[in-house]
Amino acid sequence: MSERFSFGLLGYPLEHSLSPLVQEVALQAHDLQGEYNLYPVSDKRDLPGMIGQLREGRINGLNVTIPYKHTVSKMMDVLSTTASLIGAVNTISFQHNQLVGDNTDADGFIADLERLGWFPEADQLRSALVLGAGGAARAIVYALRERGWQLTVAARRIEQTEILVQSLSSEPSGRHIQGKVKSSPFNIQSLEDLEPPPDLIINTTPLGMYPHLDASPWPSGLALPSKAAVYDLVYNPAQTAFIGQAQEAGLRATGGIGMLVEQAARSFEIWTGLVAPRIEMHRSVVAYIKGGR
């Protein structure tokens, strides 16, 4: 790698991403020269040229977000085991003359869930409802299924949901996984009748993200399950409409700052081989959001 690092985020839209903030904090903590840029790509036909800059050495590492996590996985020379099983890539590096696709979302989510300590009994059967069926949903479903959770995926595009469920329901050769995955129509009746009722509801959609503060992925007029916890992957704002709904119902709820920091830290470590300064990265996001953007 060059003495000056060049990292970035690939996706669309990107104008409200805080990834540059957390990654530049990590660079500064290690006295590294470099920058983290946003690369908004509205047309997927432009992806090969953008990713090709890693082969040319013009970029040292890329993160990938909505809507390209699944698309770019097919453009890699090598996929990590995790990225291959999930079918989605959020971190790209160039190693040994090969484009390497990885996924730090799954481990980042689990690390933050463990930090919260909501489900201390590791051997107890749990159920979760995942809202959305994009690349982030794939990572969440994979992570929880690996740990034996029973999962229901619901999204407005039922065909996308069924593709996700089909791809993540099969057991790789030689492995037995206790967790199961099923799909559900995204309507009040289907979500109300879920059995067993979910212990955890995860929003993987961008609904509620700044500046659309009033949007929520939860159907209007549907009561939240009385014993569920809510995890909203949206991190800006820290208090989304969905989190507000959960708290009004007396439920535990959190936004996605912890996962943002953890997945970003793991990406930084892949690119540099250095330990990411998680505490400083987390503080920077909290301070920025509290400051009113």
Provide the annotated active-site residues: 69
Alpha-carbon separation of residue 25 from 9, 30, 162, 169, 292 (angstroms): 15, 9, 39, 38, 19
The neighbouring-strand residues paired with 152 are: 129, 182
CB 184 within 8 A of CB 152: yes
Residue ranges of the alpha helices (H) in 45-196? Answer: 47-55, 69-73, 81-86, 105-116, 135-146, 158-169, 188-192
**Would you state the structure tokens that stand for residue 129, as one six-digit string?**
């409802």
91-95 and 98-102: which strand pairing? Answer: antiparallel
C-alpha 54/C-alpha 37 separation (Å) is: 14
- Collapse the DSSP code of 145 into the 3-class scheme (helix H, G, I; strand E, B; otherwise coil) and give the result: helix
